[in-house]
């Protein structure tokens, strides 16, 4: 007899003793009378003893049956308690959630979101590691990795969190001194501030009605952190191509001014990446669902 058969037989036996009837036990368990009788008989055969005294209308435990009934009640109660404990853990996640995320997005946008998530799930411990390195999510031991990129194919599962636009911008002082470019080609005459780790290298791709334009910057600053580029642009050091989640406040305050609005750089995407598993941990699913809801629609940094 398998464990599952044994448990089914135990439940059938307990219900027969409680109700004193195979038929009534079958109705409550949504099984036929013959199925209930079969389960109880198999239980007796596996034990090598008779547990019930049977008549055509009634069933009652004998001495062995009464002792076994009391033990069976305790076993089933413990099993139900274990089921409830797991269900409660699913409803109220606890334990450690390890998250890896890009540095700038983490400090500017993810930090407040994580704080609000913590308020919703106070029994979780969150270990947030911010890094612009391309960390291997599996080898790094992270439950979920946030990445801004065009993802290459892999065995990992990626869920889109939010699209991220980029704008060409510079300080008003720089544009007043050097002029406002009206075509992508004119950017080649300007001091460009560029991000060093894009998949396309240091080239800027801009697309408008007249097609694609590839600009190879003759840069005077190349750095792998866009906040540094933003600060240099605000100081008038040149033209930058920046994600709006980094440039948004400076654009609204007038410290930066965008131009060439008819030309768009390829948008970036924030993904949540996690290993494929048959049952996604509830803490991971809740965290990803929270981020999707948090950044749904037009992101606040684009408003």
Residues paired with 159 in a beta bridge: 272
239 & 274 share domain: no
For residue 75, report the phi and psi dihedrals to the nearest 5 degrees: -65, -45
pLDDT at 299 over 80: no
CB distance 13 to 50 below 8 Å = no
pLDDT of residue 99: 93
Q: For residues 276 and 235, what is the distance between their CA atoms, to the nearest angstrom? A: 45
250 & 171 share domain: yes
pLDDT of residue 217: 77
51 & 184 share domain: no
pLDDT at 181 over 90: yes
16 & 31 share domain: yes
Instruction: Report the domain count for the chain.
Output: 3
106 & 232 share domain: no
72 & 214 share domain: no
248 & 211 share domain: yes
| Residue carrying structure tokens 């919703």 | 120
Phi-psi region of 225 (alpha: psi -120 to 50; beta: other; left: phi over 0): beta
pLDDT of residue 278: 53
Q: Where among 91, 120, 144 does a domain terminate?
A: 91
What does pLDDT average to over the chain? Answer: 85
pLDDT at 149 over 90: no
219 & 137 share domain: no
Q: Give the pTM.
A: 0.65
Does residue 100 sit in helix, strand or coil? strand
pLDDT digits (tens, 9 = 90+) for 101-132: 999 999 999 999 999 999 999 989 999 999 87
158 & 179 share domain: no
Mean pLDDT of 215-221: 81
Domain of 200, in residue numbers: 166-259
Range of 34-43, 171-180, 220-229 with top mean pLDDT: 171-180
Q: Where among 43, 69, 91 does a domain terminate?
A: 91
pLDDT of residue 221: 85
The answer for residues whose C-beta is within 8 angstroms of residue 17's C-beta and 6 or more apart is 52, 59, 60, 61, 65, 69
Assign residue 244 the CATH number of its domain. 3.40.190.10
177 & 189 share domain: yes
243 & 221 share domain: yes
Q: Where among 91, 113, 131 does a domain terminate?
A: 91
* Lowest-pLDDT choice from 21-30, 65-74, 100-109, 128-137: 128-137
Mean pLDDT of 242-265: 93
Assign residue 52 the CATH number of its domain. 1.10.10.10
CB distance 240 to 229 below 8 Å = yes
84 compared with 89, residue with greater pLDDT: 84
pLDDT digits (tens, 9 = 90+) for 265-291: 988 889 998 877 656 788 888 999 999
pLDDT of residue 200: 46
Confidence of residue 37 (pLDDT cuts 50, 70, 90): confident
296 compared with 137, residue with greater pLDDT: 296
12 & 82 share domain: yes
């Amino acid at each position: 007899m398998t464990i599952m058969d044994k448990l089914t037989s135990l439940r059938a036996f307990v219900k027969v003793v409680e109700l004193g009837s195979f038929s009534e036990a079958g109705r409550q368990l949504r099984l036929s009378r013959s199925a209930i009788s079969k389960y109880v008989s198999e239980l007796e055969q596996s034990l090598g003893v008779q547990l019930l005294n049977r008549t055509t209308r009634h069933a009652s435990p004998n001495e062995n049956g009464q002792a076994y009934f009391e033990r069976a009640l305790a076993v089933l109660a413990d099993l139900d308690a274990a089921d409830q404990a797991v269900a409660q853990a699913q409803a109220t996640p606890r334990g450690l959630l390890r998250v890896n995320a890009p540095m700038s997005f983490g400090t500017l946008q993810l930090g407040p979101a994580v704080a609000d998530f913590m308020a919703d799930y106070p029994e979780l411990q969150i270990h947030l590691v911010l890094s612009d390195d391309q960390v291997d999510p599996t080898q790094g031991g992270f439950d979920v990795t946030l990445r801004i990129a065009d993802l290459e194919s892999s065995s990992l599962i990626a869920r889109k969190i939010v699209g991220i636009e980029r704008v060409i911008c510079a300080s008003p002082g720089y544009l007043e001194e050097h002029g406002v470019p009206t075509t992508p080609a004119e950017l080649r005459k300007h001091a460009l501030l560029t991000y060093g780790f894009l998949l396309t290298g240091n080239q800027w791709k801009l697309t408008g009605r007249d097609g694609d334009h590839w600009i190879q910057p003759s840069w005077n600053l190349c750095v792998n952190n866009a906040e540094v580029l933003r600060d240099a642009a605000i100081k008038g050091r040149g033209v930058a191509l920046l994600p709006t989640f980094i440039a948004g406040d400076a654009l609204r305050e007038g410290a930066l001014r965008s131009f060439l609005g008819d030309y768009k750089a390829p948008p970036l995407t924030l993904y949540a990446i996690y290993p494929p598993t048959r049952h996604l941990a509830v803490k991971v699913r809740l965290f990803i669902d929270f981020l999707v809801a948090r950044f749904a629609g037009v992101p606040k940094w684009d408003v």
